[in-house]
């Protein structure tokens, strides 16, 4: 029976693969044909178009011809892009056409129908589905993981079905390696096989192995704010990327990648995840670190220590700004290079005139900016005034000349460069502003924001401050937020609590939706047991690992004399096995010490935007390791001085240990951290 099923499924795979290959070849021919046609048309334009600007009539004719040809070219570009996008999707499927099959009974009087599910959708002749997209409504019954009576929804309409078969495949192009008929997540062979594979230098899509609790996050209703709290290794980042792909699919007619922002901790992590969405047929959204986000907003100071900014100062700006009375020092003069256009007193007088009826804030600043530009233009015209009579068309030419000659001053006025944010900040909060306070004050005064953004996703949210989250909420006023993190991986002091996040993103009409993920898909049961030993009892008892049993952790306190020898031996043992070994050091000082004692045998240090190697050993700071995973982890500095028994050290050790998937060694030079005792793992 099984041999017959295997044969039938292999035949179906072969047929599907041949169809995809044929479609791919036809697309290549269509693209070549279209490109040749476009080249001929462009040559025709070059040879035949007559550029004549002798008089108004011939100008109009010339512009008309150019417009017609531009439309032709635009049409070719649209057709070419559509063909190339389809080809990209087919090429993705040619790696493995699908990963699952469901058999559904819609009506007892009719034959069951089978659907094959893959990373992207593909239809034959635009009608008959060859592969169903994993994000489609019908595919949800696969992720619900329960055979029998179930349902899915299409445009709000419930469709009841019987799920008779949930089959998973392990494919390599047109070769069927194996198949499994399963329905229970924890016994999912495809999941276990996927998890047992050696980690890559790039994060992979989890479309084939999305579990029921993860699916609940990915397909969660489109709410103003969603907070996902998950233990280390629960797949939070993978779920985030799959949700972005899901949102693109659901809103494919009106959601663009430039309308989605993902804020990530460091460039190393961005490199690690940058291939997931393209593999799903989607473009990456705007992916920025915090500093890159600040730089993109042209904040004229470095945000060296975000934790130094107290969210209460931003709240004070909100509370007190409308009560502020314009005063000397709040305003700056407007210059065109070295030429004074408007003095600070003139600027102040304009603001004070409107402040009699409008409180300090966005509306007042906008009204004042309009009046200041009017006055500035009057100054420009007075300085450019001619005595001769203006000729037809000269007025427009003079306006263009004015923009050219005085563009710097006009830009200063329009960008509200006449506001002295430092002085205003001192009056509001009593001190010179940090970069965050300066930015928040500017937004509060000028209305500076991104109204185009539809979504803002923040990964590892536990490592941001309340003030940083207030900045994001204010800068993206129309965006819906998805916040993912693990409160117990907060490795910096002064970061936001999850209760503060719930309060910040809840509104009068809607509270923040929250979902917990408590299953570890990353680490072996032994490693999971080790790092979850640092969690509160009520959370620890609910956590589990679905990985197969692995190697027992090594916890060793070394004397000063034996430390270097043990460390080198541990590195050698860890790198004898395939995969990547990371020496995760708590901070830069600790990393430099380890590198010094290892001397010439010290591994490469990974910082900034360096790409992770596929194998060997690396040295990395904990701050750069957050969000990453490694086959083997060595914590070479787990002594009692670096990891004392306090909350922050507990979080840091939990984070460092949970980077490991299959092997972990915790070493100390001298006394071992009191956070690890014989009864804690």
What is the distance between the alpha carbons of residues 116 and 242, in angstroms, rounded to a whole number?
19
The answer to whether residues 309 and 334 belong to one domain is no
Residue 226, SS3 per DSSP? strand
What is the distance between the alpha carbons of residues 198 and 662, in angstroms, rounded to a whole number?
9
Task: To the nearest 10°, report the CA torsion of 424, 428, 429, 432.
Answer: 10
Q: Is the dihedral of CA 565, 570, 576, 581 positive or negative?
A: negative
**What's the mean per-residue pLDDT of the chain?**
88
pLDDT in tens, 322-348: 999 999 899 999 999 889 999 999 999
**Minimum mean pLDDT among 306-310, 417-421, 650-654: which range?**
306-310
Confidence of residue 286 (pLDDT cuts 50, 70, 90): very high
The answer to whether residues 422 and 450 belong to one domain is no
Q: Is 237 annotated as a binding residue?
A: yes
| Of 414, 437, 439, residue with least CA distance to 294 | 439
CB 538 within 8 A of CB 500: no
- H or E element: which one contains 64? helix 56-95
Q: Is 232 annotated as a binding residue?
A: yes
Has residue 621 been placed in a domain?
A: yes
Q: Are strands 339-342 and 128-133 parallel, antiparallel or unpaired?
A: unpaired
What is the distance between the alpha carbons of residues 275 and 664, in angstroms, rounded to a whole number?
28
| Of 284, 282, 285, residue with least CA distance to 121 | 282
pTM for the structure as a whole = 0.84
pLDDT of 679 > 70? The answer is: no
| Of 489, 437, 431, 428, residue with least CA distance to 310 | 437
Place of tokens 């032709």: 72
User: 363: number of CA atoms within 13 Å, CB side?
Assistant: 7
CATH (domain of 660) = 3.40.50.300
Q: How many domains does the chain have?
A: 4
Confidence of residue 394 (pLDDT cuts 50, 70, 90): low
Confidence of residue 51 (pLDDT cuts 50, 70, 90): low
Q: Is 231 annotated as a binding residue?
A: yes
Q: How much is the pLDDT for 387?
A: 41
pLDDT of 374 > 90? The answer is: yes
Per-residue pLDDT averaged across 636-659, rounded? 96
Q: How much is the pLDDT for 643?
A: 97
Whole-Å CA distances, 364 to 369, 370, 413, 439: 9, 10, 14, 18
The answer to whether residues 287 and 419 belong to one domain is no
**Minimum mean pLDDT among 208-212, 386-390, 625-629: which range?**
386-390
Per-residue pLDDT averaged across 213-223, rounded? 93
CB 618 within 8 A of CB 604: yes
- H or E element: which one contains 623? helix 622-625
| Of 453, 118, 476, 472, residue with least CA distance to 285 | 453
Residues of the domain holding 3? 1-95
Q: Is 185 annotated as a binding residue?
A: no
Has residue 179 been placed in a domain?
A: no
Q: How much is the pLDDT for 399?
A: 64
Has residue 70 been placed in a domain?
A: yes
The answer to whether residues 382 and 452 belong to one domain is no
CB 83 within 8 A of CB 34: yes
Asked which of 38, 63, 95 is the last residue of a domain, the reply is 95
Q: How much is the pLDDT for 582?
A: 96
Confidence of residue 66 (pLDDT cuts 50, 70, 90): low
**Minimum mean pLDDT among 199-213, 338-352, 452-466, 602-616: which range?**
199-213
Has residue 552 been placed in a domain?
A: yes
The answer to whether residues 548 and 503 belong to one domain is no
Q: Is 467 annotated as a binding residue?
A: no
Has residue 144 been placed in a domain?
A: no
The answer to whether residues 428 and 511 belong to one domain is no
Asked which of 95, 122, 141 is the last residue of a domain, the reply is 95
**Minimum mean pLDDT among 3-12, 77-86, 639-648: which range?**
77-86
Contacts made by residues 132-135, CB under 8 angstroms, sequence distance 24+: 133/249, 134/207, 134/210, 135/245, 135/246, 135/249, 135/250
The answer to whether residues 539 and 672 belong to one domain is yes
The answer to whether residues 373 and 473 belong to one domain is no
The answer to whether residues 486 and 576 belong to one domain is no
Q: How much is the pLDDT for 681?
A: 41
pLDDT of 388 > 50? The answer is: no
The answer to whether residues 364 and 483 belong to one domain is no
pLDDT of 194 > 80? The answer is: no
Has residue 525 been placed in a domain?
A: no
pLDDT in tens, 531-581: 999 999 989 888 888 777 889 999 999 999 999 999 999 999 999 888 999
pLDDT higher at 579 or 279: 579
Asked which of 64, 95, 126 is the last residue of a domain, the reply is 95
Confidence of residue 185 (pLDDT cuts 50, 70, 90): very low
Has residue 138 been placed in a domain?
A: no
Q: Is 236 annotated as a binding residue?
A: yes
Confidence of residue 81 (pLDDT cuts 50, 70, 90): confident
pLDDT higher at 393 or 142: 142
Whole-Å CA distances, 603 to 26, 98, 619, 657: 49, 40, 6, 19
The answer to whether residues 329 and 301 belong to one domain is no
| Of 313, 324, 348, 290, residue with least CA distance to 432 | 313
Has residue 52 been placed in a domain?
A: yes
Residue 161, SS3 per DSSP? strand
pLDDT higher at 337 or 267: 337
pLDDT higher at 448 or 75: 448
How far is CA 443 from its chain centroid?
23
Q: Is 235 annotated as a binding residue?
A: yes
Q: How much is the pLDDT for 618?
A: 96
Looking at the chain, the whole-number percentage of residues with pLDDT higher than 70 is 90
pLDDT of 392 > 80? The answer is: no
The answer to whether residues 425 and 327 belong to one domain is yes
Q: How much is the pLDDT for 437?
A: 95
């Amino acid at each position: 029976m099984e041999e017959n099923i295997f044969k039938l499924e292999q035949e179906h795979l072969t047929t599907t693969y041949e169809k995809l290959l044929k479609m791919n070849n036809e697309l290549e021919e269509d693209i070549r044909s279209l490109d040749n046609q476009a080249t001929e048309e462009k040559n025709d334009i070059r040879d035949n178009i007559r550029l004549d600007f002798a008089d108004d009539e011939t100008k109009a004719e010339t512009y008309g011809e150019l417009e017609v040809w531009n439309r032709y070219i635009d049409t070719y570009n649209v057709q070419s892009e559509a063909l190339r996008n389809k080809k990209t999707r087919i090429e993705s499927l040619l790696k493995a056409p699908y990963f699952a099959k469901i058999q559904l009974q819609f009506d007892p009087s009719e034959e069951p129908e089978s659907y094959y599910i893959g990373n992207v959708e593909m239809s034959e002749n635009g009608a008959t589905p060859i592969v169903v997209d994993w994000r489609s409504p019908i595919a949800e019954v696969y992720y619900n993981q329960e055979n029998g009576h179930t349902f899915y929804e299409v445009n709000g309409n419930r469709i009841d079905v019987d799920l008779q078969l949930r089959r998973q495949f392990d494919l390599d192009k047109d070769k069927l390696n194996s198949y499994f008929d399963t329905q229970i997540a924890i016994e999912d062979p495809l999941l276990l096989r996927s998890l047992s594979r050696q980690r890559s230098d790039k994060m992979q899509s989890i479309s084939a192995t999305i579990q029921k609790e993860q699916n609940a996050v990915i397909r969660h209703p489109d709410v103003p704010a969603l907070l996902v709290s998950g233990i280390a290794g629960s797949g939070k980042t993978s779920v985030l990327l799959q949700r972005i792909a899901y949102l693109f699919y659901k809103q494919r007619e009106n959601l663009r990648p430039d309308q989605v922002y993902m804020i990530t901790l460091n460039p190393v992590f961005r490199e690690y995840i940058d291939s997931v969405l393209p593999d799903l047929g989607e473009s990456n959204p705007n992916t920025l670190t915090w500093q890159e986000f600040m730089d993109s907003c042209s904040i004229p100071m470095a945000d060296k220590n975000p934790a130094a900014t107290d969210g209460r100062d931003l709240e004070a700006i909100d509370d007190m700004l409308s009560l502020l009375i314009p005063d000397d020092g709040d305003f700056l003069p407007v210059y065109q290079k070295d030429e004074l256009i408007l003095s600070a007193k003139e600027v102040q007088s304009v603001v004070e005139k409107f402040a009699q009826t409008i409180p300090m804030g966005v509306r007042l600043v906008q009204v004042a900016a309009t009046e200041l530009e009017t006055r500035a233009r009057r100054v420009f015209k007075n300085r450019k005034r001619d005595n001769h009579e203006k000729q037809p068309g000269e007025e427009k030419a003079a306006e263009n000349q004015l923009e050219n000659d005085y563009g710097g001053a006009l830009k200063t006025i329009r960008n509200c460069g006449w506001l002295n944010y430092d002085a205003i900040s001192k009056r509001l909060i009593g001190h010179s502003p940090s970069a965050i306070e300066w930015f928040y004050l500017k937004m509060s005064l000028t209305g500076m924001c991104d109204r185009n953004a539809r979504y803002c996703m923040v990964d590892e949210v536990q490592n941001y401050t309340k003030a940083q989250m207030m900045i994001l909420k204010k800068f993206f006023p129309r965006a819906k937020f998805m916040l993912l993190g693990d409160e117990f991986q907060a490795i910096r002091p002064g970061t936001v609590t999850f209760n503060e996040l719930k309060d910040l993103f809840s509104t009068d009409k809607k509270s923040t939706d929250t979902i917990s993920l408590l299953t570890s898909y990353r680490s072996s049961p032994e490693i999971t047991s080790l790092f979850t030993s640092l969690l509160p009892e009520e959370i620890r008892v609910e956590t589990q690992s679905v990985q197969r049993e692995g190697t027992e952790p090594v916890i060793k306190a070394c004397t000063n004399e034996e430390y270097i020898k043990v460390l080198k031996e541990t590195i050698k043992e860890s790198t004898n096995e395939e995969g990547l070994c990371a020496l995760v050091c708590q901070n830069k000082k600790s990393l430099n010490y380890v590198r010094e004692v290892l001397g010439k045998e010290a591994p490469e240090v990974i910082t900034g935007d360096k790409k992770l190697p596929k194998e060997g050993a690396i040295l990395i700071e904990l701050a750069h390791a957050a969000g990453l995973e490694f086959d083997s982890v060595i914590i070479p500095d787990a002594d009692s001085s670096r990891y004392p028994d306090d909350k922050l050290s507990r979080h840091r050790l939990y984070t460092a240990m949970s980077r490991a998937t299959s092997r972990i060694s915790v070493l100390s030079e001298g006394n071992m951290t009191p956070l690890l005792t014989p009864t804690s793992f």
